[in-house]
Chain A
Amino acid sequence: MGFISLISIWIIPCFILMIMIAASIRKLPAYDLFVEGGKEGVKTAVSLLPFLVGMITAISILRSSGALDAFVQLLSPVLAFIGFPAEVLPLALIRPISGTAALGMTTEIIATYGPDSFIGLLASVMQGSTDTTLYVLTIYFGAIGIKKTRYALQVGLIADLFAILVAVFLVTMMFG
């Protein structure tokens, strides 16, 4: 487990060093490229803004009304039985359906429970480790006109379920 913590600290600086070395070997105008690519980042963040406002507001209404906590409390005893924290269930349910909704939910959970709490860490890992199954399926099969998707959705959703269980298990082992 110590090794995994080590990766968390070392991976980004080492990757940057690798990029710098590769850029100098190829004699690339690294700084110019960085600035050019960075402009994309501004665009991406700004285009996320309306999605985040919409989603975080709706989720906050649900949270502050007490409905979300009532839902969590209702399911807690059942889920505790298998060691699954009910607080992240809303995120687990929405993760395969909508990317922006999941992003909003992750943000709201981190804001409510704190980024370094067990629930906050678990939500972070769940958000980072899978993608939006339904969206990917719709985009790719829609783009090339596939009508019969066969077992694609089943496999995608079962894989998501396993990824969530693995996330709960490993986060519990490391930070629980």
Chain B
Amino acid sequence: MINWIWICMAAIGIIYAMFSGNMEAVNQAIFDSAAQAVTLAIGLISILVFWLGMMRIAEEAGILKGLAKLFRPIVTKIFPEIPKDHPALGYILSNLTANMFGLGNAATPLGIKAMEEMKKLNNHSDTASRSMITFLILNTTGLTLIPTTVIGIRMQYESASPTQIVGVTLLVTCIGTIIGLIIDRIFYYKSKWRKS
């Protein structure tokens, strides 16, 4: 799908330029923007190195594990179908804390482990269980404490205050996650009600 979107953006742009008379601007943009993207990626190194370096210390110091412990009672409530001492909960918690700190690369394998455990609970069926969908929603609503990449981009474009958006982003992501969980519950009860 993304391949088609990519082709469409470039192709529509070039065809539109044929008629709007902006071909010179397009020609210029192709090379300017490629160079701009490289500058940006290089610029992002600064914040990514700093953040991932800090996070390595936080991980070793047990801060992520401590947070996971803190969230455990809430998460057991969110997943009523998973027994309290089941390994699935541990993986879910590790995945969520990794995501919160922007450790996407570490979060994905933990998330897959969590899904595997939930599949065992669901008798290895190829149908998504209620817990799996709830877990998916927690991941797609993107619960993040500090949006490092966005701060990096804002730095690159000389924002007067790159971190200005941190508070609002946190608020939006929290409200978004709560709304996501509510919608998930509504759909679950609707599907249960339809069955009976």
Contacts and interface: CB of A to CB of B under 8 A. Distances in A.
B140 A34 contact: no
Interface residues of B, number: 100
B17 A38 contact: no
B51 to A, nearest CB: 7
A133 B138 CA distance: 10
Contact of A4 (B6, B25, B26, B167): B167
B137 A101 contact: no
Contacts of B49: 38-39, 41-42, 45
Contact of A58 (B9, B38, B52, B56): B9
Nearest to B10: A58
B180 A159 contact: yes
Q: Tell me the dominant secondary structure on chain A's binding face.
A: helix
A28 B61 contact: yes
B133 to A, nearest CB: 5
A130 B141 contact: yes
A64 B22 contact: yes
Contacts of A98: 1-2, 5
B10 A130 contact: no
Interface in B77-128: 99, 105, 108, 111-112, 115-116, 119, 126-128
Contact of A53 (B37, B140, B165): B37
A61 B9 CA distance: 8
Interface string A1-33: 001111111011001101100110110101001
A81 interface: no
Contacts of A11: 145-146, 166-167, 170
Given A41-B48, A62-B10, A66-B22, A140 B53 contact: no
A158 B137 CA distance: 10
Contact of A42 (B25, B45, B149): B45
A89 interface: no
Contacts of B132: 140-141, 146, 152
Q: Looking at chain B's contact residues, is the secondary structure mostly helix, strand, loop, or mixed?
A: helix
A3 B167 CA distance: 9
B5 A106 contact: no
A129 B142 contact: yes
Interface of B: 1-2, 5-6, 9-10, 12-14, 16-17, 20, 22, 25-26, 28-30, 32-34, 36-38, 40-42, 44-45, 47-63, 99, 105, 108, 111-112, 115-116, 119, 126-128, 132-133, 135-137, 139-142, 144-147, 149-150, 153-154, 157-173, 175-176, 179-180, 183-184, 187-188, 191
Interface of A: 3-9, 11-12, 15-16, 18-19, 22-23, 25-26, 28, 30, 33-42, 44-46, 48-49, 52-68, 70, 94, 96-98, 100-101, 103-104, 106-108, 110-111, 114-116, 120-121, 124-125, 127-134, 136-137, 139-141, 143-152, 154-156, 158-160, 162-163, 166-167, 170-171, 174
Given A98-B5, A137-B136, 17 more contacts: A4-B171, A8-B163, A19-B54, A19-B61, A37-B54, A41-B51, A42-B45, A59-B9, A61-B9, A62-B9, A110-B157, A116-B159, A124-B154, A131-B141, A146-B127, A162-B179, A163-B172
16 contacts: A8-B166, A11-B166, A37-B56, A41-B49, A48-B41, A49-B38, A59-B9, A116-B161, A127-B147, A130-B176, A131-B141, A131-B142, A146-B127, A148-B128, A159-B183, A163-B175
